Amino acid sequence: MSQRVQKLIEFFTKLPGIGPRQAARLVLDMLNWPAGELEEFSQSISGLGNGPILCTNCFNLTDEEKCSICSSHKRDQTRIAVVEKITDLQSMERTGAFNGVYHVLGGTINPSGGSLPHNLKISELLNRILELQKLTPDVEVIIATNPNTYGETTALYLEEELKPLNVKTTRLARGLAAGSSVEYADEITLVNALKHRR
């Protein structure tokens, strides 16, 4: 086995859901790529280390300081959907049914997995709402965590934290079956969960 190939396989196995065999398949396929494409691939990877990756406002992906959603005048900046992960944001964006903005927590509260409230972007959310409330009293926070134990724990915690702020707080409707996820919900389900939020 070539050392260079072996090294790359090891890197791929660090990715979620990729085992050694799958990693080997990916790398062997890449051996057939034209040199230019490999160069581009390696540049996009090293580019991840430069400049902003996460929006300073909502923690979505971006190349600028603020993401395209936070800087869009077409979006209602007073409706904030709080999601666990960037992939949840992307699923909601694909529905095209939500015209507000997001706040990506970066996970859920999961003490046994070592994830505590201070590991999530919760204080950032509270500050963001306080800033927004200086401009308008009409702010809504839509808690869009997943309907599983950790998502529920996180939602309850958020509701408690939001209480003193006197901000309208809603949850995605139960169209999302318990145990399902925002990321993999089909679009109709998500659109309905949003429409009937309460």
Select 39 or 64, whichever has its Cβ closest to Zn ion.
Answer: 64
- Alpha-carbon distance of 33 to 55, in angstroms, equals 33
Report the nearest approach of Zn ion to the CB of residue 61 (Å).
9
Report the nearest approach of Zn ion to the CB of residue 69 (Å).
5
- Alpha-carbon distance of 152 to 145, in angstroms, equals 7
- Alpha-carbon distance of 92 to 79, in angstroms, equals 14
Report the nearest approach of Zn ion to the CB of residue 76 (Å).
14
Report the nearest approach of Zn ion to the CB of residue 49 (Å).
21
Distance of CA 54 to the CA centre of its chain: 10
Number of residues forming the site for Zn ion (CB under 5 A): 6
Q: For 14-36, give one letter per residue: b (16+ CB within 10 A) or e.
A: eeeeeeeeebbeebeeeeeeeee
Select 128 or 171, whichever has its Cβ closest to Zn ion.
Answer: 128
Backbone angles phi, psi at 102, to 5 degrees: -125, 170
Report the nearest approach of Zn ion to the CB of residue 16 (Å).
23
Site string for Zn ion, 30-69 (x = CB under 5 A): -------------------------x-xx-x------x--
Contacting residue, 9, 23, 27, 70, with Zn ion by CB under 5 A? 70
Question: Which 125-144 residues touch Zn ion, going by CB under 5 A?
Answer: none
Q: How deeply is 155 buried, as exposed, middle or buried, from its count of CB atoms within 10 A (0-12, 13-18, 19+)?
A: buried
Interface residue list for Zn ion (CB under 5 A): 55, 57-58, 60, 67, 70
